[in-house]
Amino acid sequence: MAAGSSSGSTTPPEAVRTFQIKTVSDMLAKLEWEIEQLQVTQFSQSVKSVDISSYFAINAALTAFHVCEWIWHIGTQQQRDAWLQAAPAASKAQGKTRFQVGLKYQCPEFGVCRAIANSFKHLADDQFTDTNVLTDVPVFELSVPATAGSMRAGDPLAQFAKVLMVRSKGGITPAAHVLSRTYGFLEDFCEKSGFLTGSQVSP
């Protein structure tokens, strides 16, 4: 039985306005690519490297948050009921919002992505704002010496990077690390839910 077609649930909507992004697997591939681009850009010598890194970091956070939207829409009612149990008992959230709270509880890094995505969309704080998450943290600058044997004539002796950082309850962490942890969690969640094997169901 296809995901989303169990008794009491409706057929998931078809992805007809998302170009070639048709499945949750496609969404995960998009997220992985954005994280890779962020990591590469942070080593760029462009004067706009920090700006471009910010674009990729925000896009990746948005994608990560939207992956959970797709998951919710392709899940069966039975799956949704089980997912809702992951939220803390004290949470008063209902439905899809409670599902998001449960994901945040299981993966704090997802909660950071959710906070970034929410702030980027709305700017102003609302009831979903996590004030522990801040991105106005100075970039971390470092140099990585070239590896002996891999250098060619004209190559620099070291690569310099400007790494975006995020502050949360867990401390100050590289944004790429937060996003990578979120990607791993979401990929594992989708795998265990049966969304990455066989035919894919689009939201």
Average pLDDT of 144-160?
A: 67
d(CA 93, CA 158): 50
Q: What CA–CA distance (Å, rounded) separates 25 from 200?
A: 8
Rounded to two decimals, what is the model's pTM? 0.87
State the pLDDT at residue 88. Answer: 94
Residues pairing with 140 in the sheet: 163
Q: What's the rounded mean pLDDT across residues 177-187?
A: 98
Give the pLDDT of residue 5. 40
The whole-number average pLDDT for the span 42-61 is 95
pLDDT at 45 (0 to 100) = 86
For the cut 60, the answer to whether the pLDDT of residue 168 exceeds it is yes
| CB neighbour class for 84 (10 Å; exposed up to 12, middle 13-18, buried from 19) | middle
Name which of 33, 18, 73, 20 is nearest 195 in CA terms.
73
Reference 33, options 12, 10, 64, 3; nearest CA is 64
Give the per-residue pLDDT at 145: 75
pLDDT-based confidence at 155, cuts 50/70/90? low
Region for 171 from its dihedrals, namely left if φ exceeds 0, alpha if ψ lies in -120 to 50, beta otherwise: left
Q: Region 155-180: what's the mean pLDDT?
A: 91
pLDDT band per the 50, 70, 90 thresholds, residue 127:
confident
Least confidently predicted of 12-21, 72-81, 159-168: 12-21
Angle at 26 between CA 184 and CA 35, to 5 degrees: 45
pLDDT, position 1: 38
Mean pLDDT (the chain) is 89
